[in-house]
A and B are shown apart, each in its own frame.
Chain A
Amino acid sequence: MTNNPVPYSNTRATLALAKASFISIIRSPSAVVFSLAFPLVFILVFGFIGNGGIKVQLGVERGCDTSNFIFQSLKKVSLIKFVNGQDSLLMSKNLTRGNLDGVINIQKNFSGKPPLILTIRYTKASLQNGTILKSVITDILYYAGKKNQEPSDQPVLVNESTAEGRAYKTIDFILPGQLGFSLLSSGVFGTAFVFISLRLTLVIKRFFATPVKRYSIVLAEALSRLLFSLIGAVIILLIGHFAFGFTLIHGYVTVLNMLAICTIGILVFMGFGFIISGIAKNESMVPPLANIVTLPQFLLAGTFFPIDSFPTWLQPVCRALPLTYMNDALRKIAFEGASLIDVSFQILILLAWGVGTYAVAVKVFKWE
């Protein structure tokens, strides 16, 4: 019996653990179903259903006259949401990005008839919502004309134009949300289940009897789950792009930026998993606890519906959730071609959540 002649390598031990953990994940049906099958099914279903919960974002240019009957009638239309206070440069930018569905400006005509000049700009980035807006305005003008009893005497001069822009497809909204949710459920459910079962079946205790460092057990799990989730993300992105026309503005650079956000997201979400594995007494307590974390975000973080379509009182709640910022960052990167610096605010909020969850996780995490 001789001592091992090679110096002990904790890195090698960590990699051995990570490899074993990775094999375990890909062999676990629930991991594959939750991370890949579910998001793809949702993408498919929502891809066919089309837009739900429509809100038309109408930019109101500064100096627009709001006392006239057209504006007052528009205010009564519940699906129109007015966006005020942006300067015309920002409005034009938002219009081309499809963040605004139209920009309106109404002025009194002091030089005579007709008394009002209505300038409305639509965008190719949001043709569907633009059409809705157009028909609403046509309706208002039609009824106004009727009331005047003089259809020939047009009360309003209408200037219409359509801005260039990319069409924001349903898939462009749905896919980032599904990607975010896939990472959330894998991070929370997967991590919580793995650690509670390692603990309860004493697998972790057996690891402690080897020279490997404790933190390596956590690190290895994080590495393997990260790798698995990123592979899943790439598969979702590729299928989304090639089968459903998901927009990746700068091609593979966009994909890399999205994967960077995914990495931050999955690490933050794993923090919740660690907390749950520490709190739960047995495996059957994991699903309810994990659902408390994932379900609200599933519904409220802009996964299926834009946050704007929720009632105003609920929106602050939506804007407190980490998944909201991850979805936000993913959409900005994919559709608007934002860089990581452009989404640094979203990253910062995610990191803040990370600091918070890991501070709690360190306190409640149990090894045995």
Chain B
Amino acid sequence: MTEENVIISVENLVKKYGDFTAVAGISFEVYAGEIFGLLGPNGAGKTTTLEILETLRDKTAGNIIIDGFSVDNQAAEIKKIIGVQLQAAGYSPNLSLTEIIELFSGLYGVRVNALEMLDKVNLREKAKAKFKELSGGQKQRFSIATTLIHKPKIIFLDEPTTGLDPQARRNLWDLIFEIRKEGTTVVITTHYMDEAEILCDRVAFIDAGTIRGIDTPAHFIDQLIETGFEAPKKVKQATLEDVFISMTGKDLRE
């Protein structure tokens, strides 16, 4: 990777809430066009880091450059080139999906065909439905659709698959791959390591506000095996989730 490919650069990021240090000086880079995973247990500082990158939260110290813009004084420019999916965001309860898409196209200052946007996330038949009437997977897909309205360079997804059934989860992976295929950089947090292994080009492990390592999933696994690590149970050719999918099919249940 050359310097030009770095789209997000984070240097010594610190975030303190009073006496509590949520993020204790982390540094990493995200390359343009990759799917980058932030992994770590609850309370590790993933969401805080993400929200600082999204310019939704102030940092205590550190330097962050996103596509050449500094979060310190160019937040407005950054907001125009990023798409943000929040962990628990709601949408105006009285509006239909079409109306919400139109609202967000106004907020981003672009003109889009709402139905085409819904097509991208396979929700055209729900155009007149309200957000609260959607299933978990549909909600996440719609949430991602709102992040794509202004054709952002980077999208941030905060635990998009939490609480989804295996079919919906796989469906969302396909969507994320498609988004990446169109050249969009994806920064994602997740608690599922199988998901990170499949989705992410590179991952960073965060714990207690510090980064424990950044690498490709395959490299991390190889490194662990080199230390003599052995999985307690012999790894089989399939997982229980594979069984689940083979028994219940890949069709979405919504």
Contact = CB atoms under 8 A, between A and B. Distances in A.
B110 A4 contact: yes
A23 to B, nearest CB: 6
Nearest to A207: B107
A1 interface: yes
A209 B109 contact: no
A17 interface: yes
Contacts of A209: 54-56, 79, 82, 84, 86
Contacts of B173: none
A359 B109 CA distance: 32
A6 interface: yes
B102 interface: yes
B56 A202 contact: no
B86 A206 contact: yes
Main secondary structure of the interface of A (DSSP, over half): helix
A12 B109 CA distance: 7
Contact of A210 (B92, B102, B107, B182): B107
B91 A210 contact: no
A205 B89 contact: yes
Contacts of A206: 84, 86, 89-91, 146
B183 interface: yes
Nearest to B77: A211
A209 to B, nearest CB: 4
A4 B76 CA distance: 14
A17 B80 contact: no
Given A12-B106, A13-B109, A209-B56, A3 B89 contact: no
24 contacts: A1-B183, A3-B80, A3-B81, A6-B109, A8-B109, A9-B109, A12-B106, A16-B105, A16-B106, A19-B103, A20-B95, A20-B99, A20-B100, A20-B103, A21-B92, A24-B93, A24-B95, A202-B88, A205-B56, A206-B89, A208-B56, A209-B79, A210-B79, A211-B76
Given A1-B183, A206-B90, 18 more contacts: A3-B81, A4-B151, A6-B110, A8-B80, A13-B109, A17-B106, A20-B92, A20-B99, A20-B102, A23-B95, A201-B90, A203-B91, A209-B82, A209-B86, A210-B79, A211-B79, A211-B107, A211-B108
